[in-house]
């Protein structure tokens, strides 16, 4: 599930970044991905049925991860003038593991 979501959102991010500023492309893709992972990840990836509190904590973790991604995009585009592929791959290389780590910490253990 996570791999499919990462591949799909990475491709969408790359394509949208052709016509939109990278931060806007990332925001759009991240919001869609966030809706998907908060609905699917607990049950299908971790086999858990988390409480509302855990789901809220997961959503907050993902918001923090989003801001880490936005910061990295700003750094890569503003400071380094990195090409689009480097921005996309660099951002995914940071945000995907952070997202998984947070989900694992919050969902892999019982309430």
Q: What is the pLDDT of residues 11-21, one digit of tens each?
A: 999 999 999 99
Q: What pLDDT is recorded for position 110? A: 65
Q: How far apart are CA 75 and CA 12, in angstroms?
A: 21
Average pLDDT, the chain: 92
> Is a pLDDT exceeding 90 seen at residue 41?
no
Closest C-alpha to 46, from 65, 54, 28: 54
| Mean pLDDT to the nearest integer, 26-46 | 87
| Mean pLDDT to the nearest integer, 7-34 | 96
Rg over alpha carbons for the chain, rounded to the nearest Å, is 14
> Is a pLDDT exceeding 70 seen at residue 111?
no
Q: How far apart are CA 103 and CA 107, in angstroms?
A: 6
pTM of the model: 0.90
Answer whether 13's CB lies under 8 Å from 29's CB: yes
pLDDT digits (tens, 9 = 90+) for 51-76: 889 888 998 999 999 999 999 999 99
Phi, psi angle pair for 78, to nearest 5°:
-80, -50
Q: How far apart are CA 104 and CA 111, in angstroms?
A: 13
- CB contact set of 1 (below 8 Å; sequence gap of 6+): 37, 40, 41, 44, 45
How many Cα atoms occupy the beta-carbon half-sphere of 26 within 13 Å?
Answer: 25
């Amino acid at each position: 599930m996570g791999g499919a979501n990462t591949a799909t959102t990475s491709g969408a991010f790359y394509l949208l970044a052709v016509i939109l500023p990278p931060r806007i492309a990332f925001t759009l893709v991240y919001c869609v991905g966030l809706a998907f992972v908060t609905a699917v990840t607990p049950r299908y990836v971790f086999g858990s049925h988390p409480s509302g509190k855990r789901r809220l904590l997961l959503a907050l973790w993902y918001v923090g991860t989003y801001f880490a991604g936005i910061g990295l995009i700003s750094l890569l585009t503003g400071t380094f003038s990195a090409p689009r592929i480097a921005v996309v791959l660099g951002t995914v290389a940071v945000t995907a593991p952070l997202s998984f780590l947070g989900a694992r910490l919050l969902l892999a253990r019982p309430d």
